């Protein structure tokens, strides 16, 4: 059985959402935080790009909100999509998402307290590495002669990764060279 054709009035809110997202992206705000709500209030907060906010319209068994969405549909209610903020970088969007989820975790269907960006994960990993770095004098007992420049370079690179993380890795060659790349 074919699904009924939506009227222009029913489609319009989605077209407006898409237009708002596209306009923000044209101005460099590619990331956004959104909420899903029904008449009882907000039940989900997420971070998205492009049309992510509209993906929840497609109910499926794998969707963690499927039962909530099915109840809304069965009751003849409409799902409300609310754009809460636009961001130029993913880290800021994730931070805002986590803050909103943290304000009312018990009333939301979110499984996790929010995600972390790859940059945040890399920065945390660099902090963990730096915390395990031993002082040069202690390291010197097992190091090769002339290792101080290598040690200083390694520590500087890890400190830089904390400030400006990248999805890269440190590679140590048998000859003592350190490369920073993929």
Same domain flag for 59 and 148 = no
pLDDT higher than 60, residue 11: no
Enter the tokens of residue 55: 């993906």
Asked if residue 103 is part of any domain, the answer here is yes
**Kind and range of the H or E run holding 81:** strand 80-87
pLDDT digits (tens, 9 = 90+) for 141-174: 666 777 778 788 888 888 888 887 765 555 555 5
Residue 83 · residue 53 · CB < 8 Å: yes
pLDDT digits (tens, 9 = 90+) for 25-79: 999 899 999 988 888 888 889 999 988 887 776 555 556 677 777 788 788 888 8
* Domain assignment present for 1: no
Query: What is the domain extent for residue 162?
Result: 120-181
Q: Are residues 48 and 73 in the same domain?
A: yes
Counting runs of H as helices and runs of E as strands, what totals does the chain give?
6, 5
pLDDT of residue 173: 57
Q: Residue 82: beta bridge partners?
A: 35
Domains in the chain: how many in total? 2
Residue 98 in tokens: 């986590």
pTM of structure: 0.62
**DSSP strand pairing (178-181 vs 41-49):** unpaired
């Amino acid at each position: 059985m074919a699904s009924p054709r939506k009227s222009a009035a029913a489609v319009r809110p989605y077209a407006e959402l898409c237009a708002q997202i596209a306009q923000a992206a044209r101005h460099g705000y590619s990331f956004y935080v959104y909420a899903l709500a029904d008449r009882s209030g907000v039940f989900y907060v997420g971070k998205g790009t492009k049309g992510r906010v509209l993906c929840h319209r497609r109910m499926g068994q794998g969707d963690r909100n499927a039962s909530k969405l099915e109840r809304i549909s069965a009751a003849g209610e409409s799902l409300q999509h609310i754009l809460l903020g636009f961001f130029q970088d993913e880290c800021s969007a994730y931070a805002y998402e986590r803050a909103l989820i943290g304000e009312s975790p018990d009333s939301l269907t979110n499984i996790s307290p929010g995600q972390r960006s790859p940059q945040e994960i890399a920065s945390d990993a660099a902090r963990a590495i730096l915390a395990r770095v031993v002082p040069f004098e202690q390291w010197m007992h097992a190091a090769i002669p002339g290792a101080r420049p290598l040690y200083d370079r390694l520590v500087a690179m890890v400190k830089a990764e904390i400030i400006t993380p990248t999805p890269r890795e440190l590679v140590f060659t048998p000859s003592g060279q350190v490369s920073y790349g993929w």
